């Protein structure tokens, strides 16, 4: 048996790698007391052990490579609702217009981008100066106005520097401080 480095968010049991994904040890056997599992494939994308461990340890990461039944590619993040793993593309509210901010393939985008009456062009690139912006950082920026910690960025020549990301006073874009 291969256990992965994470515990079941429902009952606290150890998580096992199985032929169909990752299951709580308490969901296996004659009298299961838990039914939590992370499918090995979600929307035509393989969920790696690294993805599962990050999710189980509370890291909300944006994942790429999901595909609809029509093979339209999209990005999303994993979440739990009613004890089941589901995809959640909505991250938080847009700080500029109040619409929903979603995970996109290259950026976190406001859902009102194509709204004819009140278009909103707010977005946060998923990669800024060599740093992959996490879902937690997006929430911090949109909800508190600034990232909690300094972030490691890279210049063109490879030089490392540290800054925080902050909303402008107009709440229409982010800047480094």
Query: What are the structure tokens assigned to 40, written together?
Result: 């090995």
SS3 59: coil
Domain boundaries, the chain: 3-88, 90-176
CA–CA separation, 164 vs 152, rounded Å? Answer: 9
Reported as a single tens digit per residue, the pLDDT across 150-171 is 999 999 999 999 999 999 999 9
Q: Is the pLDDT of residue 29 over 90?
A: no
Q: What is the pLDDT of residue 17?
A: 97
pTM of the entire structure? 0.78
CA–CA separation, 77 vs 126, rounded Å? Answer: 13
Q: How much of the chain exceeds pLDDT 90, in percent?
A: 85
Query: What are the structure tokens assigned to 138, written together?
Result: 């997006």
Torsion of CA 37, 2, 77, 153, to 10 degrees: 160
CA–CA separation, 55 vs 111, rounded Å? Answer: 25
Reported as a single tens digit per residue, the pLDDT across 111-123 is 999 898 989 999 9
What residues contact residue 84 under an 8 Å CB cut-off, 6+ apart?
Answer: none
Q: What is the pLDDT of residue 23?
A: 96
């Amino acid at each position: 048996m291969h256990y992965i480095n994470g515990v079941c968010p429902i009952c606290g049991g150890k998580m096992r790698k199985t032929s169909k994904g990752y299951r709580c040890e308490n969901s296996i056997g004659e009298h299961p007391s838990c039914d939590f599992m992370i499918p090995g494939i979600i929307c035509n994308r393989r969920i790696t052990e690294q993805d599962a461990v990050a999710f189980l340890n509370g890291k909300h990461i944006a994942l790429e490579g999901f595909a609809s039944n029509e093979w339209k590619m999209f990005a999303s993040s994993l979440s739990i609702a009613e004890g089941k793993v589901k995809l959640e593309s909505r991250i938080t509210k847009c700080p500029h217009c109040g619409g929903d901010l979603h995970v996109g393939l290259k950026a976190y985008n406001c859902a009102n981008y194509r709204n004819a009456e009140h278009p909103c062009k707010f977005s946060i690139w998923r990669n800024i100066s060599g740093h992959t912006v996490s879902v937690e950082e997006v929430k911090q920026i949109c909800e508190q106005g600034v990232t909690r910690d300094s972030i490691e960025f890279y210049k063109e020549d490879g030089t490392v520097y540290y800054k925080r990301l902050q909303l402008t006073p107009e709440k229409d874009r982010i800047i480094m401080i």
